[in-house]
Amino acid sequence: MRQYPHLYIDGRWTEPMQPYEQELTDPTREEPFARVTLGTAADVDRAVAAARRAFETYSTTSVDERVALIDRIIDVYESHIDEFSELIAREVGIPVANRAQVTGPAEHMRVARDLVRAYAFESRIGGAIVRREPIGVCALISPWNWPVQTGVIKVIYALAAGCTVVAKPSVNSAASGALLAQVLHEAEVPAGVFNLVNGAGRDVGDALSRHPDVDLISFTGSTGAGKVVGAAAADTVKRVCLELGGKSANIVLPDADLERAARWNIQRCFFNAGQSCHAPSRMLVHESQVDQVAAFLADEAARYRLGDPLEQSTTMGPVVSAAQYKSIREHIQSGIDEGAHLVTGGLDRPEGLDRGFFVRPTVFTGVTPDMRIAREEIFGPVLAVLPYRDEDEALRIANDSPYGLGGYVFGRDPKNARRFVNGLRAGRVSYNGAATDSYTPMGGYKQSGIGRSMGTFGLDEYLEVKSVYGFEDEAQALPPLTG
């Protein structure tokens, strides 16, 4: 049994003031593999105080100093990549073959480093100076589905901006959170600049959201939990950045390459066992083409190799927990009960797997917009295929959702496809499966969030803006503000 008995506060590993333990369950074996000690609001107070003290000096560091710090973090992180890969396989079921989960964070660090190196922290409007200054102490709450990458993106942009941090990973991924803290410790991040407090959302998360000395809270998770965070943060009028749920639609236009669209949709939707907020979990297909598309979907879904995520041959591991497993199965049952057609997958356990929280890749056709599987974020390997009669109806169905995180369009005519790309009410939209870019902003419309992460927009989230007057000569030497 692995032990994680400490929090990381003010540059040291320390015991919680009122410690209590929680076991982490290996979702493949359905048995505990680690024990983590959780903190409380009292530990949040200690961590925030340390971050506040450190901010006084860290906020004045030069860009060159912060770039050098990020370079050290990258070097140490890359020496631990295999350890991260094995750990997230054990704690949340992510296959070790999924290298994007552990190589991606280093790329995001490089992007943040390069952006801050070229960023105009001072510019001018007319004769006035416009300064961008670090906002202060940042509380960063990360999810379990991308346990390393999401945490890294939050931390590295905060540090690049000159802010100090109190991080809280999901309890489900507390082990990889502790390893990330170890990376920052080995990289000699100054004491108090980074702090880690493991704990439940109702305790540590709530205390961070309400804390008067926290200047910004960045939360990634469900829309329901995000509403709670936003409400708790309102009393102290701190900046709130939220990346929340999604029910992203992929509009397959009648002229699209149907096989390509179908196979890509399965690969993107079922990546990470469907536990990704941008997953295209609604596929909109012209009513005359549904049967043709369904055959490709079933064939691609059958190619997944479910099994132990520690084995290189595994392409889909278990879902994270018993609670998630139960929720996904309830959604599958609701699809059956409401009359959708089950093309592949379903409630039966995968062949040869008699334990573990494994869900068969599942595809429904004949789904109507009012069905539960068409409206709720399932967060599992379940795809709902909805027919449409004409293109105007396709766009209406796609936008008929409280969410607006991602969107996708497949078609051969770029001019026509652009109409749908522009019409989708979503923060990120991809045409014909185009890859995303780490320099571009990520975030959502509607109930999918507030604010943006990544790239220049992500750096802006951690900065305040100050207008300065009376220094016209100095202003003229600065670049004009263009954006």
Q: At what angle do helices 149-161 and 174-186 cross, to 10 degrees?
A: 40
Would you call 350 helix, strand, or coil by DSSP? coil
In angstroms, the CA 213 to CA 310 distance is 42
Order of strands across the sheet that contains 128-134: 122-125, 128-134, 463-468
Angstrom distance (rounded) from CA 338 to CA 304: 27
Beta strands per DSSP E along 341-381: 341-344, 362-365
Reference 248, options 221, 285, 279; nearest CA is 279
DSSP secondary structure code for residue 382 in this structure: E
Q: Pairing state of beta strands 249-252 and 406-410?
A: parallel
Among residues 15, 86, 133, 243, which one is catalytic? 243
Closest CA to 197 of 181, 211, 184, 213: 181
Inter-residue contact 131 to 175 (CB < 8 Å): no
Nearest-angstrom CA–CA distance, 395 and 29? 43
Rounded Cα distance between 278 and 241, Å, is: 17
Q: 195-216 burial, b if ≥16 CB within 10 A, otherwise e?
A: bbbbbbbebbbbbbbbbebbbb
Strand partners, 412: none
Pairing of strands 362-365, 406-410: unpaired
Question: Is 472 an active-site residue?
Answer: no
Q: How far is CA 379 from the centre of its chain?
A: 13
Name the helix (H) or strand (E) containing 33: strand 31-38
Task: Point out the residues that are catalytic.
Answer: 243
